[in-house]
């Protein structure tokens, strides 16, 4: 069942990108009238508090509020380089989760320029590369993201400084990439390493992130009971640390897993709760994913008209979100199948073609295979057995693990 939220899911081999680093113009503080401010401990205290408030807003998934704080005052970027780097990384993270990927990458290129100066350590440089990798994941540039994460881990090791939390986050995100590449063994290894690091420093929030990915890996291997166990454990930790955004995601996934395990009533209850929590947080994208999951449940239980209505609602909520291509494609498939069940073959064909194009941007073989399977179902409905066989063969060949 393809409705699980991954928060993100290709083929390896792209070279690591050369990220342009803009020149940092030398500026004298007294030319700007800021020399006195740079020596004022109260000014530093004020700016530190502002950045900390923004970071707290991000932890609570209030991304717009964080951006408003960070863009209201740019002075610390000129006076306090360490605060400038924190502010840039925080703003990029907030914009990434709002789907403003170009802006996030641009900000991170500025952050990378700051981090390359001698006053910063390799840990700071690794942190910037990690965040750049996350933006690449959101853009579905998976091979590039893997390269960035690998270099970031090397910088962490080279630094000799304590940075287990950062290392755990890098491993957890690289695991997502390996899942997209269908390398589940590598994905599992990274998750296990992330869990070990998180436990070692007593970071329960990071531990929950790792359990989230462990659940997804188990689901992809059709180990649904294990997947549900990990998802329930992650959800409990997210509730303990008051991370409601991830609670909403896990409620969605638990709903999907319940359905796969034959527990339809519990599935619908979880999905409705996911929709409610996401809306309470003002997160339309996650709400759309819950509606998409409900549409798939209704499609599979024969309520095709309701499935069509919910799928259209989900597509409206996800409009123009290039960071949710996997979900957009999934919804297009659900809507197409709902239309096919109602005999609307022309509209269904358009949706299946749209889904294939969406998944093509996602660069995921698994997702494209799902679109080809749907096209095969349509061909069978139209009585074109040869075309159906061709679509099914294409999907099967794409997913096979050996070729000779």
| Sign of the alpha-carbon torsion through 114, 59, 293, 339 | negative
Long-range contacts of 336-343 (CB under 8 A, 24+ apart): 336/374, 336/378, 337/299, 337/307, 337/374, 337/377, 338/295, 338/299, 338/304, 338/305, 338/307, 338/308, 338/311, 339/308, 340/377, 340/378, 340/381, 341/299, 341/304, 342/304, 342/305, 342/308
Backbone conformation region of residue 388, classed left if phi is above 0, alpha if psi is from -120 to 50, else beta: alpha
Report d(CA 18, CA 246) in Å as an integer. Answer: 33
The closest alpha carbon to 190, from 163, 209, 162, belongs to 209
Angle, CA 157 vertex, CA 152 and CA 160 arms, to 5°: 125
At residue 31, the pLDDT reads 38
DSSP string for 29-47: GGGGT-HHHHT-HHHHHHH
Angle, CA 20 vertex, CA 19 and CA 23 arms, to 5°: 145
The closest alpha carbon to 175, from 152, 200, 203, 209, belongs to 209
Report d(CA 80, CA 278) in Å as an integer. Answer: 37
Helix 142-159 vs helix 122-138: angle between axes, to the nearest 10 degrees?
A: 170
CB neighbour class for 367 (10 Å; exposed up to 12, middle 13-18, buried from 19): buried
Tokens representing 151 are 């270099």
DSSP string for 214-280: HHHHHHHTT-HHHHHHHHHHHHHHHHHTT-HHHHHHHHHHHHHHHHHTT-HHHHHHHHHHHHHHHHH
Whether this prediction's pTM lies above 0.85 is answered by: no
Taken in order of first residue, the domains within the chain and their CATH numbers are: 283-404 (1.25.40.10)
- Please, are residues 70 and 90 in contact by the beta-carbon 8 Å criterion? yes
Q: How many CB atoms lie within 10 A of CB 344?
A: 15
Q: Output the tens digit of pLDDT for each of the chain's 404 residues.
A: 556 666 543 332 333 333 333 333 333 334 333 334 445 678 788 888 999 999 999 988 889 999 999 887 654 445 688 888 999 999 999 999 998 999 999 999 999 999 999 989 999 999 999 999 999 999 989 999 999 999 999 999 999 999 999 999 999 999 999 998 889 999 999 999 999 999 999 999 999 999 999 999 999 999 999 999 999 999 999 999 999 999 999 999 999 999 999 999 999 999 999 999 999 988 888 999 999 999 999 999 999 999 999 999 999 988 878 778 888 988 999 999 999 999 999 999 998 888 888 888 776 677 777 877 778 787 777 788 878 778 767 777 666 654 33
At residue 135, the pLDDT reads 96
For residue 79, CA distances in Å to 14, 50, 69, 71, 379 come to: 39, 14, 17, 16, 65
Report d(CA 102, CA 224) in Å as an integer. Answer: 37
Report d(CA 80, CA 99) in Å as an integer. Answer: 29
- Beta carbons within 8 Å of 126's beta carbon, 6+ residues apart: 151, 152, 153, 155, 156, 159, 163, 166, 170
| Sign of the alpha-carbon torsion through 307, 313, 314, 315 | positive
Tokens representing 320 are 């123009």
> Percentage helix, strand, coil, to 5, in the chain?
75, 0, 25
At residue 67, the pLDDT reads 94
CA 66 vs. chain centroid, Å, equals 19
Report d(CA 136, CA 144) in Å as an integer. Answer: 7
Report d(CA 356, CA 371) in Å as an integer. Answer: 5
At residue 258, the pLDDT reads 95
Helix, coil or strand: residue 340:
helix
């Amino acid at each position: 069942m393809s409705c699980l939220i991954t928060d993100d899911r290709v083929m390896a081999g792209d070279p690591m990108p050369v990220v342009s680093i803009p020149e940092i113009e030398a500026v004298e503080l007294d030319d700007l009238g800021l020399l006195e401010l740079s020596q004022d401990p109260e000014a530093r205290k004020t700016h530190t508090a502002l950045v900390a408030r923004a970071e707290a807003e991000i932890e609570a998934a209030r991304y717009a509020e964080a951006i408003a704080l960070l863009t209201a005052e740019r002075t610390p970027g000129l006076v306090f380089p360490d605060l400038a780097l924190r502010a840039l990384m925080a703003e990029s993270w907030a914009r990434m989760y709002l789907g403003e990927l170009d802006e996030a990458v641009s900000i991170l290129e500025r952050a990378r320029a700051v981090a390359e100066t001698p006053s910063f350590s390799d840990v700071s440089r690794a942190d910037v590369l990690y965040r750049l990798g996350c933006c690449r994941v959101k853009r579905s540039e998976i091979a590039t993201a893997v390269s960035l994460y690998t270099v970031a881990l090397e910088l962490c090791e080279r630094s000799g400084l304590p940075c287990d939390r950062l290392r755990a986050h890098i491993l957890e995100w690289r695991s997502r990439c390996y899942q997209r590449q269908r390398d589940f063994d590598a994905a599992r290894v990274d998750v296990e390493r992330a869990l070990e690091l998180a436990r070692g420093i007593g970071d329960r929030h990071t531990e929950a992130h790792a359990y989230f990915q462990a659940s997804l890996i188990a689901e992809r291997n059709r180990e649904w009971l294990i997947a549900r166990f990990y998802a329930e454990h992650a959800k409990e930790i997210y509730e303990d640390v008051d991370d409601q955004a991830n609670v909403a995601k896990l409620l969605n996934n638990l709903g999907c897993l319940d359905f796969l395990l034959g527990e339809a009533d519990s599935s619908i209850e979880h999905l409705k709760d996911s929709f409610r929590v996401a809306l309470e947080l003002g997160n339309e994208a996650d709400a759309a994913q819950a509606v998409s999951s409900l549409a798939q449940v209704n499609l599979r239980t024969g309520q095709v008209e309701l499935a069509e209505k919910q799928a259209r609602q989900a597509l409206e909520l996800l409009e123009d979100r290039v960071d949710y291509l996997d979900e957009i494609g999934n919804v297009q498939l659900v809507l197409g199948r709902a239309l096919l069940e109602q005999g609307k073959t022309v509209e269904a064909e358009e949706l299946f073609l749209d889904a294939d194009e969406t998944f093509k941007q996602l660069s995921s073989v698994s997702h494209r295979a799902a679109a080809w399977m749907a096209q095969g179902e349509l061909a069978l409905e139209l009585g074109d057995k040869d075309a159906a066989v061709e679509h099914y063969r294409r999907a099967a060949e794409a997913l096979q693990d050996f070729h000779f």
